[in-house]
């Protein structure tokens, strides 16, 4: 499931060769740069599990560079044969960093002085050099990590987390599933905004920004971009070509809002500018997609940041916008709607406002019971500072995660809230569900997250370690914790993906949780022939719940289990289907 490959680096392919990145990129042909980088990212996100080295080399170099191309290919093949490894040439992060730096050089007028042939070679060196930097960042803190996590299982999880966290959202996603979830959330968001005076005021600013009349035009404008990427039939970049018709100017105006304009280096931490402007304008009728994740994010995630920006314009519409958004929409609408849809008939389904009416103090965000299985949900629509995210500093990252998901200013949060509510259930302090039996019921603690970065491999295992440490305190208090199941971090996206199946009874929440627990159990070293096979198997066991579920459902149902039922339900809730031409 989790593919780990060794990156092809400058010093491994060309030992002793030293190159400076700025000198390599200075003067690069912009046309060659865009052709190669966007094509390579298109290849990487097409769905193949590993690079086909020959295909990469052939697509990279023109006929006049065949001598260099053959030598590069031979060097890579010789290295793989000598060391018994498979090298990965194309790393999407390196592609984006090259594009990022080249746009900065273009802004300084420092491109287009090298020939196409020289540009191809220097871009190849630049890729290998940046791959080398990536490898250093990912492995530099092994000893520090060992001190932080002396337990071997937790150490492996922490290494994997630190290795992947800065880049996981960009390189580890299934485009169609991810895009579908963003559409679901966007539909709920637009309905939510239309339900209040302040929401309607925000929508008016959004409509003015995009020069549209309503949100249906926004959806209608962005879905063709998503469809173009989803329907491509080969590993390549995707261009959007506008037709010269009566809608040309409106379509051009709309797409230009998604296209890169003036590049500003100081604003581009974690590729912020590329995320904000995920299209490159090639001419007055052609736009190229930079990266599919960035365009999919424009459906919903990007809306939050744009609405926050528009809200801050004078006069501001909503004070403390982030808190308002996460409380009223992420929890009050998104989580509530999905759980209500997925579980129309159950023994108990309560939300915090229901429990507060029963005078319960500090209830969970949601509580579900099906028979003897009780599920506690804590909803955490949180963000990690971009500078911390991309720093490859596990100590700094864990400090930030602790503040977001364990304890904040001495107050339990996330995991701490789950522990608090487990204590109250076992002590019978909270009696909002008369059917809960503390002596027989099994409790499933679930953190609901809203950002793909929390699906990084290893994070669930690291946070379960923190959860388990807190759980030991309950044991010391004399409480029976034997029926408390391990922590699961569950992205709202995968909950939406499962919702139609849960609603129809094709799966149960208990079943999928137990399947994930079973998958994550460590295996003995003796079960594997080589250390490499053992390490790969352990890494596979540390994938997120979000990444595990599609494989589980495919194995279980043996059919195309993905459903549009939730989309149809949400669309009916936001008026008739013909409104946006679906």
Lowest-confidence region among 41-45, 100-104, 215-219, 487-491: 41-45
Residue 537 has pLDDT above 90, yes or no: no
* Segment 160-190, tens digit of pLDDT: 999 899 999 998 888 999 999 999 999 999 9
Residue 3: is its pLDDT beyond 80? no
Q: What is the pLDDT of residues 130-153, one digit of tens each?
A: 999 887 777 778 888 989 999 888
What pLDDT, on the 0 to 100 scale, is given for residue 191?
94
Share above pLDDT 70 across residues of the chain, in percent, rounded to a whole number:
95
When pLDDT is cut at 50, 70 and 90, the band that residue 51 belongs to is low
The answer on pLDDT for 48 being more than 70 is: no
For the stretch 4-39, pLDDT in tens is 578 999 999 999 999 999 999 999 998 999 889 998
Least confident of 61-65, 264-268, 340-344, 449-453: 264-268
- Predicted pLDDT at 570: 85
Q: For CA atoms 214, 220, 223, 224, give the dihedral sign.
A: negative
Q: DSSP for 482-508? A: TTBPPPEEEEHHHHHHHHHHHHHTSS-
Q: Rounded to whole angstroms, what are the CA distances from 503 to 88, 175, 240, 333, 545?
A: 42, 24, 38, 18, 19
Of residues 537 and 428, more confidence is placed in 428
Spatial contact of 57 and 253, defined as CB atoms under 8 Å apart: no
Whole-number pLDDT of residue 494 = 97
pLDDT digits (tens, 9 = 90+) for 356-387: 999 999 999 999 999 999 999 999 999 999 99
- Beta carbons within 8 Å of 229's beta carbon, 6+ residues apart: 175, 238, 289, 292, 295
Q: Rounded to an integer, what distance in angstroms lies between the CA atom of residue 95 and that of residue 170? A: 12
**What is the tens place of the pLDDT at every residue in 55-103?**
899 999 999 999 999 999 999 999 999 998 889 999 999 999 999 988 8
Per-residue model confidence (pLDDT) at position 456: 96
What is the distance between the alpha carbons of residues 332 and 351, in angstroms, rounded to a whole number?
Answer: 9
Q: Is the per-residue pLDDT at 319 higher than 80? A: yes
User: Between these two residues, 284 and 544, which has the higher pLDDT value?
Assistant: 544
Residue 582's pLDDT band, with cuts at 50, 70 and 90, is: very low
Nearest-angstrom CA–CA distance, 195 and 131: 49
pLDDT at 577: 37
pLDDT digits (tens, 9 = 90+) for 412-451: 999 999 999 999 999 998 789 999 999 999 999 999 999 9
Domains, the chain, ranges and CATH?
6-139 (no CATH), 175-319 (no CATH), 343-577 (3.40.91)
397-415 pLDDT per residue, tens: 999 999 999 988 889 999 9
Please check the confidence at residue 351 and state whether its pLDDT lies above 80: yes
Q: Residue 571 — very low, low, confident or very high, per pLDDT cuts 50/70/90?
A: confident
Report the mean per-residue pLDDT for the chain. Answer: 90
Task: Name the pLDDT band for 267 (thresholds 50, 70, 90).
Answer: low
The tens digit of pLDDT for each residue in 231-256 reads 887 777 888 999 889 989 988 999 99
Distance CA 165, CA 137 (A): 12
Indicate if the pLDDT at residue 575 is higher than 80: no
| Long-range Cβ contact pairs of 274-283 (< 8 A, separation 24 or more) | 274/96, 274/99, 274/100, 275/302, 276/302, 276/305, 279/225, 279/240, 279/255, 280/34, 280/38, 281/255, 281/256, 282/34, 282/239
- Reported residue count of the chain is 582
pLDDT for position 136: 78
Q: Which two tokens stand for residue 454?
A: 């929390």
Query: Is residue 56 within 8 Å of residue 40, measured between CB atoms?
Result: yes
Say which DSSP state 8 is in. Answer: P
Comparing 579 with 207, the larger pLDDT belongs to 207
């Amino acid at each position: 499931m989790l593919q780990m490959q060794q990156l092809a680096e400058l010093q491994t392919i060309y030992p002793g060769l030293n190159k400076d990145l700025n000198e390599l990129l200075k003067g690069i042909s912009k046309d060659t740069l865009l052709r190669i980088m966007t094509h390579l990212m298109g290849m990487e996100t097409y769905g193949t599990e590993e690079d086909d080295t020959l295909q990469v080399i052939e697509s990279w170099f023109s006929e006049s560079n065949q001598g260099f191309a053959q030598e590069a290919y031979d060097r890579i093949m010789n290295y793989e044969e000598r060391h018994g490894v498979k090298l990965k040439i194309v790393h999407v992060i390196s592609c984006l960093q090259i594009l990022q730096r080249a746009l900065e050089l273009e802004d300084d007028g420092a491109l287009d002085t090298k020939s196409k042939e020289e540009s191809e070679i220097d871009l190849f060196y630049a890729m290998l050099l940046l791959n080398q930097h990536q490898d250093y960042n990912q492995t530099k803190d092994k000893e520090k990590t060992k001190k932080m996590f002396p337990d071997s299982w937790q150490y492996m999880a922490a290494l994997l987390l630190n290795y992947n966290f800065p880049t996981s959202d960009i390189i580890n996603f299934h485009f169609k599933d991810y895009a579908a979830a963003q559409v679901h959330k966007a539909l709920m968001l637009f309905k939510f905004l239309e339900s209040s005076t302040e929401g309607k005021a925000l929508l008016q600013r959004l409509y003015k920004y995009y020069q549209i009349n309503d949100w249906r035009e926004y959806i209608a404008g962005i879905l063709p971009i998503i469809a173009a990427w989803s329907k491509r039939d080969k590993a390549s970049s995707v261009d959007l070509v506008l037709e010269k018709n009566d809608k040309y100017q409106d379509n051009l105006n709309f797409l230009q809002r998604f296209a890169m304009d003036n590049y500003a280096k100081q604003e581009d931490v974690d590729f912020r500018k590329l995320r904000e402007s995920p299209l490159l304008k090639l001419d007055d009728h052609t736009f190229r997609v930079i990266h599919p994740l960035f365009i999919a994010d424009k459906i919903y995630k990007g809306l939050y940041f744009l609405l926050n920006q528009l809200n801050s314009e004078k006069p501001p519409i909503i004070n403390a916008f982030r808190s308002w958004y996460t409380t009223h929409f992420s929890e009050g609408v998104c989580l509530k709607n999905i759980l209500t849809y997925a579980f129309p008939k159950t023994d108990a389904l309560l939300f915090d406002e229901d429990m507060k009416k029963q005078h319960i103090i500090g209830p969970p965000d949601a509580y579900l019971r099906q028979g003897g299985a009780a599920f506690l949900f804590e909803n955490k629509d949180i963000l990690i500072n971009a500078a911390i995210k991309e720093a490859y500093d596990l100590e700094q990252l864990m400090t930030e995660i602790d503040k977001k998901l364990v304890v904040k200013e001495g107050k339990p949060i996330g995991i701490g809230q789950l522990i608090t509510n487990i204590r109250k259930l076992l002590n019978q302090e909270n009696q909002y569900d008369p059917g809960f039996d503390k002596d027989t019921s099994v409790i499933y603690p679930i953190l609901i997250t809203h950002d793909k970065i929390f699906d990084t491999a290893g994070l669930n295992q690291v946070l379960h370690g923190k959860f388990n440490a807190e759980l030991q305190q309950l044991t010391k208090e004399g409480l029976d914790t034997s029926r408390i199941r391990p922590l699961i971090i569950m992205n709202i996206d995968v909950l939406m993906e499962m919702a139609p199946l849960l609603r129809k009874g094709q799966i149960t929440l208990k079943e999928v949780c137990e399947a994930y627990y079973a998958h994550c159990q460590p295996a003995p070293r003796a079960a594997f022939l080589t250390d490499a096979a053992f390490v790969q198997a352990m890494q596979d066991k540390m994938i997120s719940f979000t990444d595990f579920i599609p494989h589980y459902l495919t194995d279980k149902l043996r059919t195309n289990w993905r459903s549009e039922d939730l989309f149809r339900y949400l669309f009916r809730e936001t008026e008739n289907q013909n409104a946006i031409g679906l």
